[in-house]
Structure 1
Amino acid sequence: MKTTPPPRNDEKVHDLSRLLRPASIAVVGGGAWCASVIEQCHKMGFQGPIWPVHPTRETMGGIATIPSLAELPGIPDAVFIGVNRHLTIEAVHHLSEMGAGGAVCFASGFRETQAETGDGDTLQDALLDAAGDMPIIGPNCYGFINYLDGALLWPDQHGGVRCDGGVAILTQSSNMAINLTMQARGLPLAYMVTAGNQAQIGLAEIGRGLLADPRVTALGLHIEGVGDLRAFEALAQEAHRLNKPLVALKAGKSEQARAAAVSHTASLAGSDAGARALLARLGIAQVDSLTALLEALKLLHFAGPLPSSRVVSMSCSGGEASLIADSALGRDVQFPPLTGTQKTGLRAALGPMVALANPLDYHTFVWNHVDQMAEVFAAALSGDIALGCLIVDYPRTDRCDAGAWDCTIAAAAEASRRARKPLAIISTLPEALPEETAARITRAGLIPLHGLDDALAAIEAAAVAGQVRTLPAPLLIPGDVRTPTLLHEADAKAALSEHGVELPRANRASSRDMLPEALRNLPLPVVLKAEGLPHKTEAGGVALGLDSEKAVIAAAATMPAECFLIEEMIEGGVAELLIGVIRDPAHGFVLTLAAGGTLTEIMQDSASLLLPVTRTEITKALLSLRIAPLLRGYRGKPPADIPSIVSAVLGVQAYVTAHAAHLDEVEINPLICTPARAVAADALIRIGDET
């Protein structure tokens, strides 16, 4: 990854170092959760002082209590506040005044419950005023676990252990955080952090605080809502600068984005497309399950970002070789053909009876011969690949003797050392790689991955993290559009034309009587359209190929409108495209490029990007579509003028940029693509009042 300049985010960033890596901890409150915080710190061997604060209890968690914050023997670095919401505000104010390093606010009943309590907004504002510059995590959250230093502001059990270095995981869900600590996959957890309702500090800012610890190798994010887009841009830039990969599991849908649009674009883009486009733009690898998140973080911790998704797979079973190849379909994981060097080494080690291919079935007659197995694995690793994959399912230790499988770890470790390539041992079934075996694998310098599907998702994510990237331009941020209105098609086209979008020759008829006049000076045949309909074709508002005045008048008589648009008919098109932009409040302006015309919703062939985009990005997205062969020229037919298509997209972008504060959506459908032109045959704009 290239080094990038400092983040562009101009907002204040809190110093979280004392809070996340405390030398002293105070616990305010007397409930079971407060006693649990003390208990968990003791279990993990926290070395600093712990100060329980309670006005009446004598001890808590085996430690003498202190009656009030004012009587603390020192200024705490981190404070767990486990009292009701009103007392929480008082405690935060006192801690801020005394210069504490930060606090976790356990109580609920703030903005997240405004609809139920009616005073949540007021109390949250009071909490923020009380905090001032002191960082607070929450409210309504469990807090965090620092496994590196044994510091836990955490009111419950967990399944982790101390480590010297590892990955950090950040989630908005406390319950999911507990579950993730229970993983038995050999993943070293450095931090587990919950964000609660993010009254003051959002996911992105906490993420930057975690990346600042040199012992953290990668950051996993479970995201329910992105929040501050500029803060997420800053997080991605900081991760890029530190060469620490980010992996995200994005949940939830944006109701605003689904409800906002009346166009085809909405059904193609929606919130999920916006989220995926945002993560891709920021270089954040995306996975679709919690288990894939854990496996991706594990691979990134032990191997770092991969320079490519080219892998070699080895197993002693043809069934497993076929299974991994089939499981990789639809993923960006490649099994390149074996090179001459690989084949020579493999043939020398395996003899003439084994068919050489990638994935490789190396058979079992070298099993338990560690030196010979190491030669096989090292030969396979000698190609132009980023990672070796050795498929092994280990027997269950409660009923079987796993000693005969020790050879796989010994041989794989030797092969990885010889080839100087990372090698992952992958089980087809997650339960076929016990935690104690995974620990032995990591001690041998190898990477244990649980389950084929999650392992392949991890490889894909690690390759995304390894891509060399240039710094994207800042996102175009949408405004808060109220009561947007739909422009007439002619007005929408005229607005886009001012920014370079090519249009067909056209005239408007404000009544049926004006049709003959509007038809003059237009070449036949023409297209007649009823104005004021967002989906003209479905409503019977479009007639094509009209070659006379009589045909135009007859067609108009069947349409549910009084105003019409007559256009020249664009002929010679080799493809039709959709260009759409919707305002997605959660992610920015989502640009959708798709198969257009009547194929839009049938094919669901689309690519989504976030504005602003470059010519190169537009071209790459166009050529990723399933209809790309038509654009290139299919079976002897002429290609479309791709530079003209790109110019049309840039014209739409220019219009959106000029009206970002008020714009709701734009759509051209279809853009008729000929060998020489790209013409907007239909256009839709929904925009709010600019006054």
Structure 2
Amino acid sequence: MSGTRHNLERLLSPRHAAFIGGEDAMHAAVRCAEGGFSGEIWGVNPRRTTLGDFPCFRSVGDLPAPPDAVFLAVPSATAVDVVAQLAAFGAGGVVCYTAGFRELGGVGAELEKVLAEVAGDLALVGPNVFGLLNYVSGAHLWPYAHGGKRVERGVALVSQSGMFSGYVTTNQRSVAFSYVIGSGNQTCLGVEDYLEALVHNPAVNAFGLYVEALRDIPRFAEIAIEALARNKPIVVLKGGVSEVGAGSTVTHTGSLAGTDAFYQALFDRLGIVRVATPSQMLETLKLLTVAGAPNGKKLAAFTCSGGDAAMVADGGTLLGLEFPRVSLSARTALNELLPSIASVANPLDYTTPLWGNEQALTQVFDALVRDDCDMALLVQDYPPLDMAHDVAMYRTDARAFAAATAAAGVPAAVCSVLAENFDAESRSLMSQQGVAPLQGLGDALMAIAASTNVKERRRCIVSNRDELRLPPLQAINGTP
């Protein structure tokens, strides 16, 4: 393990954290304490004796010990000197919140070269970055209020956009994160470094990536193969796809986005799920981490509305999902179970007379999910919680669905047509039963369709790892 990799491990599992600077550093220290971090918290500022409620030291050299983790918020020219001091003192890693480097070009770009030189083996995150959120230990290196809560296991998000990494933490979609890392300008560490450090971490069950460009694609590919082999799927949102968007990435992080066709081929090769929007990313991660990937493209869908059935069929078909015809044996069973006003089909509108009849609905769901399907979907838009009687009936239907799909061993999701029509308590109840609570019919179908080949790609990768490896970057560039 290299010195930088070891220091990145220290940064991700720190015993103590230092916050260097003024108000921004103080706010970050408060976030760390609020997160429940049990280690020591120190401030560094030559003009203060305390940083908020925390002891403050005049210089890096005055700290009680080399800190495992540092949050740095000082002007760019000063940041270079402080990073050099931290490296000499034996610190682990530093989140360089400071901007004003390569993203500005000219003098800023030259200053960033010096920053990289003085960092040495220091695990430098950024610069020009919001920071790092650690929901496993609470060791947050982040100056702003954020969402999320402590978890034992969750998604690791790595983002080349600071704002993206911030607002996904406040999602109201029941997606739990273990780590959220902004990569900033990637002076020393790139996306592949964070993946490598976390791929063996038992607190990580999947990866979400917002990327504009990758620095070392062969290394990224090797780690992505390892992640999928360990059943830790990767979902990526690629920025800079359009000509205008590609131009924005240069001014944003100073990176070149690369051709979209190349990245699409890379993601397909590695079994990485690609999405187009943040909401699609969240719904896809939720599906993969709660229910698991579909076994294929064949979907058994249930609704209590003819209109919903049509929308599911139309939307799913356009995305390449299949709705197998109901077999004769399943049709016979369903004709005996369903009200006379219901028509046997897939998607199945089981009609309102069966609402709240858990025993009958369990049999209905069981008949179709055991027929010919790779995944099951129940469409429900939950009423407001003050309509307690109706909410109870919806949850009864969902409970019957969860029981039937679990008995059949079929991955399952409940989805609302409108994203907001699925309350947090009902989502939690579904997740506890291993059923993914998806929000928004369009995003739900996209998540299912995008994930249909994950299991097949994983099988292929496990049996053909050597063939899927790419030559090292040096070989591609023709350098020793």
| 1:511-562 Cα distance to aligned partner (Å, 9 max, x none) | xxxxxxxxxxxxxxxxxxxxxxxxxxxxxxxxxxxxxxxxxxxxxxxxxxxx
Aligned to 2:211: 223
| 1:272-320 Cα distance to aligned partner (Å, 9 max, x none) | 2222112112221111111100000001111233331222100111111
The answer on 1:372 being equivalent to 2:372 is: no
Aligned to 1:193: 181
Aligned to 1:288: 276
Q: Which amino acid letter does the alignment assign opposite residue 220 of structure 1?
A: G
The answer on 1:159 being equivalent to 2:150 is: no
Q: Which of 180, 184, 189 pairs up with 2:168?
A: 180
Alignment of 1:80-99 (within 5 A): 80-99=71-90
SS of the residue 1:365 aligns to:
helix
Q: Which of 20, 39, 57 pairs up with 1:28?
A: 20
The answer on 1:18 being equivalent to 2:10 is: yes
SS of the residue 2:10 aligns to:
helix
Q: Which runs of 5+ in 2 are unaligned?
A: 248-257
Q: Which amino acid letter does the alignment assign opposite residue 45 of structure 2?
A: H
The answer on 1:106 being equivalent to 2:92 is: no
Q: Which amino acid letter does the alignment assign opposite residue 319 of structure 1?
A: G
The answer on 1:140 being equivalent to 2:137 is: no
Shift of 1:96: 1.7
Shift of 1:67: 1.9
Q: Structure 1 residues 252 and 373 mapped into 2: Cα distance closer, same or farther (>3 Å)? A: same
Shift of 1:339: 3.2
Q: Which amino acid letter does the alignment assign opposite residue 19 of structure 2?
A: V
Cα distance in 2 for partners of 1:463, 1:11 equals 38
Q: Structure 1 residues 79 and 11 mapped into 2: Cα distance closer, same or farther (>3 Å)? A: closer
Contact 1:85 1:108 in 2 (8 A): yes
Q: Which of 273, 276, 291 pairs up with 2:264?
A: 276
Q: Structure 1 residues 445 and 397 mapped into 2: Cα distance closer, same or farther (>3 Å)? A: same
Cα distance in 2 for partners of 1:180, 1:335 equals 33
The answer on 1:418 being equivalent to 2:407 is: yes
Aligned to 1:214: 202
Cα distance in 2 for partners of 1:415, 1:178 equals 38
Q: Which amino acid letter does the alignment assign opposite residue 464 of structure 1?
A: N
SS of the residue 1:74 aligns to:
coil
Q: Which amino acid letter does the alignment assign opposite residue 273 of structure 1?
A: A
Q: Structure 1 residues 327 and 254 mapped into 2: Cα distance closer, same or farther (>3 Å)? A: closer
Contact 2:219 2:472 in 1 (8 A): no
Contact 1:103 1:135 in 2 (8 A): yes
Alignment of 1:179-578 (within 5 A): 179-253=167-241, 271-350=259-338, 353-397=341-385, 402-467=391-456, 468-469=459-460, 470-471=464-465, 472-475=467-470
Shift of 1:474: 4.8
Q: Which of 17, 28, 31 pairs up with 1:37?
A: 28
Q: Which amino acid letter does the alignment assign opposite residue 44 of structure 2?
A: V
Shift of 1:153: 0.6
| 1:549-606 Cα distance to aligned partner (Å, 9 max, x none) | xxxxxxxxxxxxxxxxxxxxxxxxxxxxxxxxxxxxxxx9xxxxxxxxxxxxxxxxxx
272-281 or 466-475: bigger deviation? 466-475
Aligned to 2:118: 130
Alignment of 1:670-689 (within 5 A): none
SS of the residue 2:129 aligns to:
coil
Aligned to 1:638: none
SS of the residue 1:150 aligns to:
coil
Aligned to 2:53: 62
Contact 2:159 2:181 in 1 (8 A): yes
Cα distance in 2 for partners of 1:244, 1:48 equals 29
Shift of 1:380: 2.0
Cα distance in 1 for partners of 2:417, 2:241 equals 32
| 1:322-366 Cα distance to aligned partner (Å, 9 max, x none) | 100111133132222223453344334226553222111111111
Alignment identity in percent? 36
Q: Structure 1 residues 349 and 21 mapped into 2: Cα distance closer, same or farther (>3 Å)? A: farther
Q: Which amino acid letter does the alignment assign opposite residue 18 of structure 1?
A: R
The structure that is helix-richer by fraction is 2
Q: Structure 1 residues 440 and 387 mapped into 2: Cα distance closer, same or farther (>3 Å)? A: same
Q: Which runs of 5+ in 1 are unaligned?
A: 1-9, 260-269, 480-587, 589-659, 662-691
Q: Which amino acid letter does the alignment assign opposite residue 355 of structure 2?
A: W
Q: Which amino acid letter does the alignment assign opposite residue 20 of structure 2?
A: V
Q: Over aligned residue pairs, what C-alpha RMSD do you find? A: 2.6
Aligned to 2:43: 52
Contact 1:142 1:155 in 2 (8 A): yes
Q: Which amino acid letter does the alignment assign opposite residue 466 of structure 1?
A: K
Shift of 1:455: 0.7
Contact 2:291 2:434 in 1 (8 A): no
Larger gyration radius, structure 1 or structure 2: 1
339-348 or 364-373: bigger deviation? 339-348
Cα distance in 1 for partners of 2:292, 2:268 equals 19
SS of the residue 2:173 aligns to:
coil
Shift of 1:12: 9.1
Contact 1:205 1:235 in 2 (8 A): no
| 1:423-482 Cα distance to aligned partner (Å, 9 max, x none) | 211111101112232122212332100111111111123223212323444558999xxx
Cα distance in 2 for partners of 1:405, 1:112 equals 51
SS of the residue 1:65 aligns to:
strand
SS of the residue 2:240 aligns to:
coil
Q: Which amino acid letter does the alignment assign opposite residue 9 of structure 2?
A: S
Shift of 1:82: 1.1
Aligned to 2:253: none
Q: Which amino acid letter does the alignment assign opposite residue 168 of structure 2?
A: L
